[in-house]
């Protein structure tokens, strides 16, 4: 009987500690910003919002840290309605078929300048492994990476003159 009570107590402590590590994403303070060349002479800047998912980060226990987070692909905003409508179409993100852009981590490590997470990034139905260097200060995750749009079959019919190949991506995820 004492063994059963001990096992139940250990299980409760484990569940409580797992829940204590989970943070809630503050959706209206979290976004993905991107920049890509357009027309070969200027930069197009934009944002994705609607960030949701599981955010579990404890710098003292990186083995249990993990991220499973998506943004709403329909939320793309470049401050140009005509361009945003085109980016949502089958020519680019095809948001009716692929409504989310998601990242699911497989590891989180400490680095000299902060941390890095490696995992599966899924855009436009294509999944690739990426590493995102990041910092976590004042409950805010800030990461950056470069994405080749052709790796995800985005805008394949548009050459590299009209739309650049690589987008610079900045991720801000605030949690409580």
Whether the per-residue pLDDT at 61 is higher than 50: the answer is yes
| 159 phi/psi in degrees, rounded to 5 | -65, 180
User: What region, left, alpha or beta, does residue 86 occupy, with left being phi > 0 and alpha being psi -120 to 50 degrees?
Assistant: alpha
pLDDT bracket for residue 19 (50, 70, 90):
very low
Could you tell me the end-to-end alpha-carbon distance of the chain, in angstroms, rounded to an integer?
A: 40
Report the pLDDT value the prediction gives residue 56, as an integer from 0 to 100. Answer: 97
Lowest mean pLDDT among 13-22, 36-45, 115-124, 159-168: 13-22
Report the pLDDT value the prediction gives residue 166, as an integer from 0 to 100. Answer: 94
Report the pLDDT value the prediction gives residue 21, as an integer from 0 to 100. Answer: 58
The residue-averaged pLDDT of 59-84 equals 97
Tell me the torsion sign for CA atoms 88, 90, 91, 93. positive
Pair 57, 108: CB distance under 8 Å? yes
Report the pLDDT value the prediction gives residue 131, as an integer from 0 to 100. Answer: 98
Report the pLDDT value the prediction gives residue 162, as an integer from 0 to 100. Answer: 76
Calpha distance 111→141 (Å, rounded): 15
Lowest mean pLDDT among 53-57, 127-131, 159-163: 159-163
Return the structure tokens found at 6. Answer: 């001990």
pLDDT tens digits along 120-143: 999 999 999 999 999 999 999 999
- Which three-class secondary structure state does DSSP give residue 139? coil
Whether the per-residue pLDDT at 3 is higher than 50: the answer is no
Report the pLDDT value the prediction gives residue 140, as an integer from 0 to 100. Answer: 98
Report the pLDDT value the prediction gives residue 20, as an integer from 0 to 100. Answer: 42
- Length of the chain, in residues: 176
Pair 119, 107: CB distance under 8 Å? yes
The residue-averaged pLDDT of 94-101 equals 98
Mean pLDDT (the chain) is: 89
């Amino acid at each position: 009987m004492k063994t059963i009570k001990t096992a139940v107590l250990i299980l409760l402590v484990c569940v409580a500690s797992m829940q204590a590590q989970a943070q809630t994403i503050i959706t209206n303070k979290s976004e993905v910003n991107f920049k890509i060349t357009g027309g070969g002479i200027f930069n197009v800047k934009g944002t994705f919002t609607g960030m949701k998912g599981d955010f579990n980060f404890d710098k003292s226990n990186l083995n249990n840290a993990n991220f499973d987070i998506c943004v709403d692909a329909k939320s793309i905003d470049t401050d140009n309605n005509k361009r945003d409508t085109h980016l949502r179409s089958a020519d680019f993100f095809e948001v009716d078929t692929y409504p989310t852009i998601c990242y699911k981590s497989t590891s989180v490590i400490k680095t000299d300048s902060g941390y890095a997470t490696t995992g599966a990034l899924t855009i436009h139905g294509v999944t690739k492994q990426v590493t995102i260097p990041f910092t976590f200060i004042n409950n805010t995750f800030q990461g950056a990476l470069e994405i080749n749009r052709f790796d995800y079959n985005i805008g394949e019919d548009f050459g590299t003159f009209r739309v650049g190949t690589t987008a610079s991506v900045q991720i801000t995820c605030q949690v409580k």
